[in-house]
């Protein structure tokens, strides 16, 4: 999932039929964006309207990311800013939710006194009670993690939506324990969501006019529904329960088959868990996005082992070969970490050579950031100097930019099916949409199309981030 962009997602103003108002600022990955929609749904039930202006709000929530230190520093700065606001408006309450809440527990509440309320990713159903505590003048906290919670019966309120594409969570938590990663500690054990409730949510979206859904999980290929409960308990289930279980390939097949008029995407895939069945399902359904986000983190087998990624460079390249043979027009993206502990120049060159071997369409690239409590932080010294990390990261970014330009250029002269999302930001006479490979396409409006339409566009030009073209049908 893309945790790279520290995105501040604006929320749309809603009707004023409520007696309270909440402003939610979301950082981090798509899962957090979707969680904010679940939180908005729970709070609407408590009489809170969602506002996009913190000055209008009597409750401010920061839905936070803990994956790198920089993300946390940004949130701390925002909290200082809101502390200033609180001085002028004593009634205003500020809550910390999401992964930083889980990681820091009561620290920002008790020691640093930056917030009034703390709620971890599995405790959002408890928000009504926590808000009552606040009303009574008490500080409120719930950071319990759950083995079952998937919020599967809560219809997300699409607060930051273009009305065309939406996220649908299918798993929560992660059991992989990559040694650099804080997510298993902040989001808990992996569990899957009931496929019936997934289908119902997509049906609702379709009825509201949505045209695209992205199935979300830290590791979607690991999806396994056997009646509820954590993935780790699957093996203990009776034989008949195990036989009836639904895996990711089956879920994807069901979703794509039931909603042929919608585009189906998914993220994130983990190389060690992606199955060939998933590729077969993608091949079978033309409405599944021709795009796989397949983080590899490092091209060096020695580093992959230290990261506890359970694949080798060779296995990764074999998987890519297989995918490209089966689906030649696939778009591939990655996540890479530069400067993991003990990384040498040779390891770094292995990463660059893997990139050269694959030539990814795009990627998300990070300097290693030590996270307290992770296995890497406990066992390995963060010994690659900051300057070296940045130099390697810059080399990786420069190479990716070259590959992105080349990959985008390869669309020129061909045709793409574009799902129109809305007017282009730069020019209101042009539409912006995405093709099946998820590349952004801009084309002049003809007067015959509207947001939500699928149109054929001949691609006439490309930069490293945008395709340009003309409607042909």
Q: According to the binding rule CB under 6 A, does residue 335 interact with ligand SAH?
A: yes
CB proximity list for 9: less than 8 A, separation 6 or greater: 25, 26, 33, 36, 160
184 binds, among ligand SAH, ligand F3S, none (CB under 5 to 8 A by kind): ligand F3S
Residue 56 or 69 with smaller CB distance to ligand F3S = 69
Residue 277: is it exposed, middle or buried by C-beta count within 10 angstroms (0-12/13-18/19+)? middle
User: In this chain, which of 123, 218, 298, 331 binds ligand SAH, going by CB under 6 A?
Assistant: 218
The DSSP symbol for 221 reads G
| Of 323, 326, 345, residue with least CA distance to 334 | 323
Instruction: Tell me how far, at minimum, the Cβ of 384 lies from ligand SAH, in Å.
Output: 12
User: In this chain, which of 23, 225, 368, 411 binds ligand SAH, going by CB under 6 A?
Assistant: 368
Residue 270 or 400 with smaller CB distance to ligand F3S = 270
Q: According to the binding rule CB under 6 A, does residue 371 interact with ligand SAH?
A: yes
User: In this chain, which of 57, 108, 119, 181 binds ligand F3S, going by CB under 6 A?
Assistant: 181
How many residues comprise the chain?
Answer: 473
Check whether the bond before 268 is cis (ω within 30° of 0).
Answer: yes
- Other CB atoms within 10 A of residue 439 CB: 23
Query: How many residues of this chain bind ligand SAH (CB under 6 A)?
Result: 18
By three-state DSSP, how is residue 199 classified?
A: helix
Q: According to the binding rule CB under 6 A, does residue 219 interact with ligand F3S?
A: yes
Per-residue binder mask for ligand F3S (CB under 6 A), 245-284, x = binder: -------------------------x--------------
Rg over alpha carbons for the chain, rounded to the nearest Å, is: 22
Q: According to the binding rule CB under 6 A, does residue 181 interact with ligand SAH?
A: yes
What the block records as the tokens of 63 is 């839905």
Q: According to the binding rule CB under 6 A, does residue 184 interact with ligand F3S?
A: yes
Q: According to the binding rule CB under 6 A, does residue 7 interact with ligand SAH?
A: no
Question: Which residues in 245-304 contact ligand SAH (CB under 6 A)?
Answer: 268, 295, 297
Instruction: Tell me how far, at minimum, the Cβ of 440 lies from ligand F3S, in Å.
Output: 26
Beta bridge partners of 403: none
CA 263, 254, 321, 346 torsion-angle sign: positive
Q: What is the 3-state secondary structure (H, E, C) of 102-151?
A: HHHCCHHHHHCCCCCEEECCCCHHHHHHHHHHHHCCCCEEECCCCCCCCC
Instruction: Tell me how far, at minimum, the Cβ of 174 lies from ligand F3S, in Å.
Output: 3
Instruction: Give the interface with ligand F3S as residue ranges (CB under 6 A).
Output: 174, 176-178, 181, 183-184, 218-219, 270
Instruction: Give the interface with ligand SAH as residue ranges (CB under 6 A).
Output: 1, 3, 67-68, 180-181, 183, 218-219, 268, 295, 297, 335, 337, 366, 368-369, 371
């Amino acid at each position: 999932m893309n945790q790279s962009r520290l995105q501040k997602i604006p929320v749309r103003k809603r009707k004023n039929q409520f007696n309270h108002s909440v402003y939610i600022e979301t950082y981090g990955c798509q899962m957090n964006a979707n969680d904010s929609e679940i939180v908005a749904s729970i709070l609407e039930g408590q009489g809170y309207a969602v506002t996009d202006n913190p000055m209008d709000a009597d409750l401010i929530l920061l839905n936070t990311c803990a994956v790198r230190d920089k993300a946390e520093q940004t949130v701390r700065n925002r909290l200082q800013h809101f502390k200033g606001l609180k001085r002028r408006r004593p009634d205003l309450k500020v809550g910390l939710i999401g992964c930083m809440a889980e990681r820091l527990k009561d620290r920002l509440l008790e020691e640093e006194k930056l917030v009034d309320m703390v709620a971890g990713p599995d405790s959002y159903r408890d928000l009504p009670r926590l808000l009552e505590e606040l009303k009574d003048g008490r500080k409120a906290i719930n950071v319990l993690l759950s083995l079952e919670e998937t919020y599967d019966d809560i219809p997300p309120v699409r607060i930051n939506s273009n009305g065309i594409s939406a996220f649908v969570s299918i798993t929560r938590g992660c059991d992989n324990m990559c040694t650099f990663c804080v997510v298993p500690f902040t989001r808990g054990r992996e569990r899957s969501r009931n496929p019936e409730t997934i289908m119902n949510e997509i049906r609702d979206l379709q009825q509201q006019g949505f045209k695209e859904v992205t199935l979300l999980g830290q590791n979607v290929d690991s999806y396994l529904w056997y009646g509820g409960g954590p993935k780790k308990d699957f093996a203990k289930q009776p034989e008949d329960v195990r036989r009836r279980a639904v895996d990711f390939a089956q879920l994807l097949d069901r979703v794509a088959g039931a909603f042929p008029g919608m585009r189906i995407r998914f993220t994130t895939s983990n190389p060690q868990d992606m199955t060939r069945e998933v590729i077969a399902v993608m091949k079978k359904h033309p409405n599944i996005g021709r795009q796989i986000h397949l983080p590899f983190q490092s091209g060096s087998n020695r580093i992959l082992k230290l990261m506890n990624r359970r694949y080798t460079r060779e296995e990764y390249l074999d998987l890519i070969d297989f995918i490209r043979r089966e689906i030649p027009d696939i778009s591939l993206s990655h996540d890479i970490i530069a400067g993991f502990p003990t990384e040498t120049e040779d390891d770094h060159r292995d990463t660059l050579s893997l990139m050269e071997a694959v030539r990814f369409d795009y990627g998300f690239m990070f300097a290693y950031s030590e996270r307290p409590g992770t296995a890497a932080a406990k066992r390995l010294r963060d010994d690659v100097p900051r300057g070296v990390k940045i130099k390697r990261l810059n080399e990786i970014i420069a190479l990716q930019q070259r590959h992105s330009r080349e990959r985008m250029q390869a669309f020129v002269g061909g045709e793409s099916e574009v799902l129109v999302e809305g007017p282009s930001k730069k020019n209101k006479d042009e539409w912006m949409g995405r093709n099946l490979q998820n590349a952004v396409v801009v084309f002049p409006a003809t007067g015959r199309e509207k947001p939500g339409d699928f149109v054929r566009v001949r691609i006439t030009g490309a930069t490293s981030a945008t395709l340009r073209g003309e409607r042909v049908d």
